[in-house]
Homo-oligomer: A and B are copies of this chain.
Amino acid sequence: ALAQDDPLPSWNDGASKQAIVEFVEAVTTDGGADFVAPADRIATFDNDGTLWVEHPIYTQLAFALDRVKALAPDHPEWKTTQPFKAVLDNDMEALGKIGEKGLVELVMASHAGMSTADFEKIVTDWFKTAKHPRFDRPYTELAYQPMVELLEYLRDNGFMTYIVSGGGVEFMRPMTLEVYGIPAQQVIGSSIKTKYEEVNGTPVLMREAEIDFIDDKAGKPVGINKFIGKRPIAAFGNSAGDRQMLEWTGAGGGARLMMLVFHDDADREYAYGPANGLPDTHFGAFPQDLMDEAKDKGWRVISMKDDWNRIFADR
In the complex with contacts A116-B225, A222-B195, A251-B203 CB distance below 8 A: yes
Residues of B within 8 A of A219 (CB): 196
Residues of B within 8 A of A140 (CB): none
* Interface membership of A221, Cβ < 8 A: yes
Closest to A120 in B: B229
Contact with B along A143-161 (1 / 0, CB 8 A): 0000000000000000010
Q: In whole Å, how far is A177's beta carbon from the nearest beta carbon of chain B?
A: 8
- Residue from B116, B187, B202, B251 within 8 A of A251 (CB atoms): B202
A191, B251: Cα distance in complex, Å = 23
Q: Which of B170, B228, B248 contacts A196 (CB 8 A)?
A: B248
On whether the beta carbons of B248 and A225 are closer than 8 Å, the reply is: no
A218 at the interface (CB under 8 A from B): yes
Does A28 reach chain B (CB closer than 8 Å)?
Answer: no
Closest to A160 in B: B185
A222 touching B205, Cβ below 8 Å: yes
What residues of B have a CB within 8 angstroms of the CB of A247 in the complex? 203
Q: How far is the CA of A141 from the CA of B191 in the complex (A)?
A: 37
Measured between beta carbons, the chain B residues less than 8 angstroms from A230 are 184-185
Interface flags for A209-241 (1: CB within 8 Å of B; 0: not) read 000100000110110011111100000000000
Are A173 and B221 in contact, with the CB atoms below 8 A?
A: no
Contact, CB under 8 Å: A195 / B218: yes
Closest B residue to A222 using CB positions:
B194
A152 to B222, CA, bound (A): 31
Whole-angstrom distance from the CB of A27 to the nearest CB of chain B? 18
Are A203 and B248 within 8 A (Cβ)? yes
- Judge whether A244 is part of the interface by a CB distance below 8 angstroms: yes
- Given A184-B228, A185-B229, 13 new contacts (CB under 8 A): A39-B177, A39-B183, A184-B229, A185-B227, A185-B228, A185-B230, A194-B226, A195-B222, A202-B251, A205-B221, A205-B222, A212-B226, A227-B227
State the A residues within 8 Å of B (CB): 39, 116, 160, 169-170, 173, 177, 183-185, 187, 191, 194-196, 202-203, 205, 212, 218-219, 221-222, 225-230, 244, 247-248, 251
Q: List 24 contacting pairs A-B, 8 Å CB cutoff, sorted by A.
A: A39-B183, A169-B226, A169-B229, A185-B185, A185-B228, A185-B229, A185-B230, A194-B222, A194-B225, A194-B226, A195-B218, A195-B222, A196-B218, A196-B219, A196-B221, A196-B222, A196-B244, A196-B248, A202-B251, A203-B244, A203-B247, A203-B248, A203-B251, A205-B225
